[in-house]
Amino acid sequence: MKVKRKIAANEIYALAFGLLLGLCIWKFGNPVILDAKISAPNFFSEFLNDSWPTHWANWIFLPFAIASGILAFKNKWPLPAAKSLWLLPLLWFGWQIVSATQTVDADLTTTTLWQFFGCITCYFLGALLFQNFQARNFLLIGILIAFAFCLVRAADQKLVEFPRSQQMLVEGQRDNWTNMPPEMLLEMKREQIIVTTNGVDVANPAVLEKFSKGRVMGTMVYPNALAGIILLLLPVSLTLAFSKKLRPAIRATTIALTIFLGVGGLFWSGSKLGWLIAMAMGGLYLFRLNWPTKLKITATVIVAIIGLGIFAARFHNYFAKGATSVVARLDYWRAAAQTTAANPILGTGPGTFQRPYAKIKSPDAEMARLAHNDYLEQFSDSGIPGGIFYVSWIFLALAIIGRKIWKSADAISFAIFTGLLGWFVQAFAEFSLYVPALAWTAFALLGCLIGNQFDKNRQTANLAVK
């Protein structure tokens, strides 16, 4: 009876924490360094529809962190057997604190340290409390509900909201805004959707361009972040959709909706790297199938041809214009390397890339707040030791659990691992580490996988699920 009571408590906590991560996906899709620029909602409609200030996530998360510590201590769950997988994250976070003593911007660093605290807490929580497969499955409930909502929101943006909003702005400007209620006009001015130029109210050209491009973001801060959450969670969503436990009609409908919303969301996000990573992830799945080698190769080639064909058709205008975002990222990365060379031990402080970049960026380059490369930013912000600790931690974690999972028959664990692999690869060109919705979810799942693979009782738990 005692064992059953512990498992039940663990599952309830996993469900609650999964709902917390789902709330993050819904409301905390902004980088934490933009917290000061996010206004708190004043009305119920804003509370429901708008993003929340990211520091709210810290206060919501803190009780869960305390409860997880009490629960882990009470049940005396051991850390994973591989010492490097718990020592490296502690060294990394410890070095962030050391680097913070010499930061060039204390406010940015404090905000970033809270975010990193959330990352390692989610990681250890997953490794300690969600070691069995039942807890993992309960954790996924809240996460995947929020993910589905995010995808539906993205589809609505593409098919309804953006076209309707663009038409409303064009017609409103043409009619001198006489077709719009005064309250709505004032609200749109406050949100900079309508701006005043030479004494005339006009639709913000940047907003019109956004609607014209049609790049969706769901509940995330911007389109590439949507691509990140899709890379992370679509593999496990598809794996569950193909479950034989569902009735045939329900199964077919679930599969069709998951593919439409997931692949459609990735396509509509306009993420070039995200699309290429998704292709590679698909190839990884093909080589795991129990097919003859020649058939695997043939299928992979076909997928590559189709995927690259869609990529070329979707982004040919982008490359014809000179691939501006690639050029911009090269300047960010150059600046990160230059900053690392100038501050090799402690860096400039966690989350402070924008401060040195403002001084050394190319004259014609756009200003950036983050390096768009989570690994380089660790070197730039916290010096060479901080960068080495982080890169070593992620590489070893993925390598160790990847080798174990490849040999296992657990489809859900492989799907979670594939999503994590894609997400961490995308981090070479994005700043997902600084977004609670993305980073906290990813590190909770990473810790969960490590706990699953090193739990001595995981086979018994797996049988219990079956």
Provide the domain limits for residue 194.
Answer: 169-211
DSSP secondary structure of 160-220: IIHHHHHHHHHHHHHTTTTTS-HHHHHHHHHTTSEEEETTEEEE-HHHHHHHHHT---TTS
Range of lowest pLDDT (72-81, 100-109, 208-217, 368-377)? 72-81
For 379-388, write each residue's pLDDT tens digit. 999 999 999 9
Residues 176 and 289 in one domain: no
When pLDDT is averaged across residues 405-410 and rounded to a whole number, the result is 84
pLDDT for 263 beyond 80: yes
Quickly count helices (H) and strands (E) in the chain.
Answer: 19, 2
Between CA 217 and CA 153 the distance in angstroms is 8
Asked if residues 139 and 444 have their Cβ atoms less than 8 Å apart, the reply is yes
220 lies in the same domain as 261? yes
Of 117 and 75, the structure prediction assigns the larger pLDDT to 117
pLDDT for the residue numbered 60: 93
Tokens representing residue 435 in the block:
């977004």
Does pLDDT of 451 surpass 60? yes
What lies within 8 Å, CB to CB, of 329 at 6+ separation is: 372, 373, 429
Q: How confident is the model at residue 441 (pLDDT cuts 50, 70, 90)?
A: very high
- What integer best gives the mean pLDDT of the chain? 88
Asked if the structure places residue 244 within a domain, the reply is yes
pLDDT at 465: 38
The answer to the question of residue 163 being in a domain is no
Same-domain check for residues 328 and 427: yes
pLDDT at residue 78, rounded to an integer: 62
Mean pLDDT of 290-299: 84
pLDDT of the residue at 8: 56
Residue 193 falls inside a structural domain: yes
Tell me: do 57 and 205 sit in the same domain.
Answer: no
Is pLDDT of 286 > 50? yes
For residue 449, tell me if it sits in a domain: yes
Q: Is the pLDDT of residue 3 over 60?
A: no
pLDDT digits (tens, 9 = 90+) for 200-259: 888 888 888 888 888 999 999 899 999 999 999 999 999 999 887 878 888 899 999 999
16/327 Cα distance (integer angstroms): 43
* 96 and 198 belong to one structural domain: no
311-334 pLDDT, tens digit each: 888 888 887 777 788 888 999 999
* Domain-embedded: residue 187: yes
Which pLDDT belongs to residue 188? 85
Amino acid in position 106: A
Say if residue 96 is in the same domain as residue 177.
Answer: no
196 and 230 both lie in a single domain: no
In 3-state terms, what secondary structure has residue 196?
Answer: strand
What's the total number of domains in the chain? 2
For residue 164, being part of any structural domain is answered with no
Residues 6+ apart with CB under 8 A from 264: 154, 155, 158
CB contact at 8 A, 413 and 354: no
- Do 190 and 282 lie in a common domain? no
Q: What distance in Å separates the CA atoms of residue 171 and residue 221, rounded to the nearest whole number? A: 27
